[in-house]
Structure 1
């Protein structure tokens, strides 16, 4: 007599976006199903978390300073974000973005758990790479990966956190003046790029959408010799399924951090001196060549970045005093 067995598996693949211009690639040596570097979090700790449900095809934003939770395990530091995603709608493409704010960014790690809160895959912070700002996006760390739940899975859980080692690292960004010059086909100025330090809080955006295409299995993609999907846990049907509590409690920041979060938003940091000098010089050169339209565009771009001297430079240049 044959017994039908339901797989408790996750077939995982990393969407590395290799064909998109201007996108940094994640470390291709990462093997998501290798959990040796993942923190060992007790089941009791995971069960106490409030898992925020994420609807498909809708972006969910989390401010960790006010909406994070606490997990005091190993190298994990600061608040964490806990999400639950539906696992009965087919393959999921998950995109996680961590925004750079005031030259500080949260370097995320993601631990993927099955419906019984058993670790299934781990994406370290090196998977989430720096992406240059675009028309609709700012400086950020970002990574995209695919999850294909096995038959019988109802929910998957994603725990997002950073570590004490991550906070010792930095991210080199691209100076706005360089990005502007590159986008307009101008000579790229020789000025230093800004550095973003890694902090314990930040703003995360998570989007889970269904994929119509077939899944690429992690095993073959990352060098596994076998063609079979990655199997997580045993192949027998589970006796019970973990039911996550409804989201309610949030991370309570220390007194100082709470006061800072409640304070009015500060003005954005002023433009870097080198960047402002670049724009002022470019405005003068454009006016000297009689290209007032270009000078106006440079003026608008400089003021958008926070310049306080570009307008004065433009006026004085037009009057012949630049």
Structure 2
């Protein structure tokens, strides 16, 4: 357990710059994997939510007023939005956008990332989602990019978006359209006030899922495949167990196929993977180190796992 905690802290320290939105480093000062500041949500309440799946390279837009769900938890105001994301496609980049509406109002999102057992793994408060000026194909919006590495053995991770009581007391400064036009045309920027968008509980949220190869935050236990089975969420029922049919008494029992014996991995190959694992951990590339570990063990390595663990402990 101590090693796992050290790894989480190490992954985070190596990837903070990678997960903070461009231009917002001076304004955002928090630790995503310190989930103690997030609202405490009972596991039973999370399991009752319906989690909308979002596939790779796809976007899912949700209007909280019509498709939001109720979660009666102190500190959370209004409806919440719940998504599930595939966890077996590699490192993930999640881009969450909250659009400013025509009434100059916006939903200030907070995001809680949960592993496949609905255990909180990262928390991104409203301050993380910073104002982005409108573009040719985009409106005024709050936006944040989250880079995550699901631990091995998971099929899904979960993304919960909500707003808090204290967020509703704040506003977001937008850019005056006249200023934006003047800047785009290369004219002198007029000295006029910028509008303020008030924060509300009804909003339009869009989650986009893609893959990445950069350092990111580990979601879930280090060796996820050896952990407990994923919990059942929403209306998804666990498959019923059916006992295998008994073979006829007269049917001959086939002898089990002999196990294929793996040839021991060559010393040069063992050294190559061990060195690669050490270098990846030293650079904070934990996802790359895990891939090298898997590949080495598939070839018959007996030292790759201990090399990985000792390297992580040395950095923790």
**Normalised TM-score (structure 1):** 0.65
Q: CA deviation at 1:202?
A: 0.4
CA distance in 1, matches of 2:96, 2:170: 19
Contact 2:182 2:188 in 1 (8 A): yes
CA distance in 1, matches of 2:121, 2:142: 23
Distance 1:235 1:100, change over 3 A: closer
1:87-124 per-residue CA deviation (whole Å, 9 max, x = no partner) reads 00000000000000021000000000000001111000
CA distance in 2, matches of 1:120, 1:46: 14
Q: Residue 69 of structure 1 aligns to a residue in which SS?
A: coil
Q: CA deviation at 1:186?
A: 0.3
- Which residue in 2 is equivalent to 1:140? 141
CA distance in 1, matches of 2:190, 2:80: 39
- What value does the CA root-mean-square deviation take over the aligned residues? 2.5
CA distance in 2, matches of 1:152, 1:236: 4
CA distance in 2, matches of 1:150, 1:94: 16
CA distance in 2, matches of 1:235, 1:156: 12
**Normalised TM-score (structure 2):** 0.66
1:216 and 2:220 correspond: no
1:79 and 2:79 correspond: yes
Unaligned 5+ residue runs, structure 1? 219-228, 248-322
Q: CA deviation at 1:241?
A: 1.2
- Which residue in 2 is equivalent to 1:153? 154
1:243 and 2:232 correspond: yes
CA distance in 2, matches of 1:53, 1:36: 26
1:171-197 per-residue CA deviation (whole Å, 9 max, x = no partner) reads 010000000000111011111100100
Distance 1:65 1:26, change over 3 A: farther
Distance 1:155 1:238, change over 3 A: same
Q: Residue 36 of structure 1 aligns to a residue in which SS?
A: helix
Q: Residue 44 of structure 2 aligns to a residue in which SS?
A: helix
Q: Residue 135 of structure 2 aligns to a residue in which SS?
A: coil
CA distance in 2, matches of 1:79, 1:17: 25
Q: CA deviation at 1:243?
A: 2.8
CA distance in 1, matches of 2:234, 2:219: 28
Higher helix share: 2
CA distance in 1, matches of 2:83, 2:163: 15
1:276-320 per-residue CA deviation (whole Å, 9 max, x = no partner) reads xxxxxxxxxxxxxxxxxxxxxxxxxxxxxxxxxxxxxxxxxxxxx
CA distance in 2, matches of 1:201, 1:16: 25
Contact 2:121 2:219 in 1 (8 A): no
1:192 and 2:193 correspond: yes
CA distance in 2, matches of 1:196, 1:33: 29
- Which residue in 1 is equivalent to 2:20? 16
Distance 1:193 1:28, change over 3 A: closer
Q: Residue 83 of structure 2 aligns to a residue in which SS?
A: strand
- Which residue in 2 is equivalent to 1:49? 49
Q: CA deviation at 1:25?
A: 4.7
Count of matched residue positions in the alignment of Structure 1 and Structure 2: 225
- Which residue in 2 is equivalent to 1:269? none
Distance 1:231 1:9, change over 3 A: farther
CA distance in 2, matches of 1:123, 1:143: 9
Q: CA deviation at 1:139?
A: 0.3
- Which residue in 1 is equivalent to 2:65? 65
Q: CA deviation at 1:162?
A: 0.2
Contact 1:106 1:162 in 2 (8 A): yes
- Which residue in 2 is equivalent to 1:204? 205
Contact 1:69 1:81 in 2 (8 A): yes
Distance 1:151 1:236, change over 3 A: closer
- Residues 275-286 of structure 1 aligned to structure 2 (within 5 Å): none
Distance 1:17 1:110, change over 3 A: closer
